[in-house]
């Protein structure tokens, strides 16, 4: 269903008893929708009222032209963080646990910066608080090997970004091409491709990203923001993450003495897919203490 909050329509799905503590899940991408996260995230309905939604500019939420009428300037991350806080209040909660995955983790940190009173706890999954980490990828043997299995995708390909390209064509092509980097178990690539086939990718972000018009997703000095907020934080990272290497989560854990770090074994960036049992167990244990 759609919820009208903060001047936009957010496509929303809810799982579990509304009387349980609210867990708002912010998906990654940002050109993806939320659909790559279930069924894993939905299984948390045994401990939480799980709220999934599509970010503005994504999936079935308010979109920019030609799909919708949302101004491209409205895609800035500070507006996305405002949406999360507004959704929590709209659904009748004073505070919520916020699970941010990848790009969504950076938005979750912005929610902490902009609306700290709304956040009971934060789960930062497969994400980073830092902007400079290319050297870690360059030094990673896993990354170099898996990068060799990917296929280059060009922003200049008219079939992907031209006027007649399908909505989300570029992002879909990138997701398929980068699948060996996203998941650890290569024997499950076909299964991951089936997950990708269900994702509603969008083209709304292509132009502002390519022209450098988007603000950084995470707030300035995110570790300081989290430290000064002082609430419970779970850092949940795949040991084999080749998007945001696990060293980044370890570094943040060192800067947040009160945080909990869980390194998910045999898991890459899509840790919820690679090792859902370990991923879900870590979240359940954290929420029981938050």
> Is the pLDDT score of 262 beyond 90?
yes
Task: Give me the residue label for tokens 């879900």.
Answer: 280
The pLDDT-based confidence of 143 (bands split at 50, 70, 90) is: very high
282, 249 contact by CB (below 8 A): no
Task: Report, as an integer, the average pLDDT of 63-89.
Answer: 97
Query: Taking Cα atoms as reference points, which of 220, 207, 254 lies closest to residue 31?
Result: 207
Predicted pLDDT of residue 154 = 86
Predicted pLDDT of residue 235 = 98
Strands 119-125 and 8-15: unpaired
Question: Phi and psi dihedrals of 207, rounded to 5?
Answer: -70, -50
pLDDT digits (tens, 9 = 90+) for 157-201: 888 988 889 999 999 999 999 999 999 999 999 999 999 999 999
Q: What is d(CA 261, CA 135) in angstroms, rounded to the nearest whole number?
A: 22
Q: What is d(CA 266, CA 239) in angstroms, rounded to the nearest whole number?
A: 7
> Is the pLDDT score of 118 beyond 80?
yes
> Is the pLDDT score of 290 beyond 80?
no
Strands 96-101 and 233-238: unpaired
* Torsion, CA 278, CA 22, CA 30, CA 221, rounded to 10: -90
Predicted pLDDT of residue 158 = 87
> Is the pLDDT score of 246 beyond 90?
yes
* CA-to-CA separations, 32 to 18, 24, 98, 254, in angstroms, rounded: 26, 17, 18, 31
pLDDT digits (tens, 9 = 90+) for 4-49: 999 999 999 999 999 999 999 999 999 999 999 999 999 999 999 9
How crowded is the C-beta side of 16, counted as CA atoms within 13 Å? Answer: 18
């Amino acid at each position: 269903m759609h919820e009208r909050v903060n001047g936009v329509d957010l496509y929303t799905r809810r799982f579990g008893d509304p009387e349980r503590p609210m867990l708002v899940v912010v998906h990654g991408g940002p050109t993806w929708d939320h659909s790559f996260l279930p069924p894993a995230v939905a299984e948390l309905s045994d401990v939480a009222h799980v709220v999934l939604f599509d970010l503005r500019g994504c999936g079935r939420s308010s979109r920019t032209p030609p799909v919708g009428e949302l101004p491209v300037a409205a895609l800035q991350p500070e507006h996305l963080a405002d949406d999360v806080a507004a959704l929590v209040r709209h659904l009748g909660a004073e505070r919520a646990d916020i699970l941010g995955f990848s790009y969504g983790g950076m938005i979750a940190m912005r929610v902490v910066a902009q609306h700290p009173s709304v956040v009971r706890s934060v789960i930062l999954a497969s994400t980073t608080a830092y902007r400079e980490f290319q050297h870690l990828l360059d030094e990673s043997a896993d990354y170099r090997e898996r990068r060799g299995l990917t296929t280059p995708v060009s922003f200049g390909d008219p079939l992907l970004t031209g006027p007649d390209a399908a909505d989300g064509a570029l992002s879909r092509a990138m997701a398929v091409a980068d699948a060996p980097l996203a998941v650890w178990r290569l024997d499950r690539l076909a299964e991951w491709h089936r997950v990708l086939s269900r994702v509603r990718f969008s083209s709304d972000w292509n132009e502002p990203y390519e022209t450098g018009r988007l603000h950084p997703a995470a707030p300035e000095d995110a570790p300081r923001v989290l430290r000064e907020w002082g609430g419970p934080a779970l850092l949940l990272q795949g040991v084999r993450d080749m998007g945001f290497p696990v060293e980044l989560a370890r570094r943040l854990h060192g800067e947040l003495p009160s945080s909990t770090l869980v390194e998910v074994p045999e898991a890459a960036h899509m840790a919820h897919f690679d090792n859902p049992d370990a991923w879900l167990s870590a979240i359940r244990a954290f929420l029981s203490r938050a």
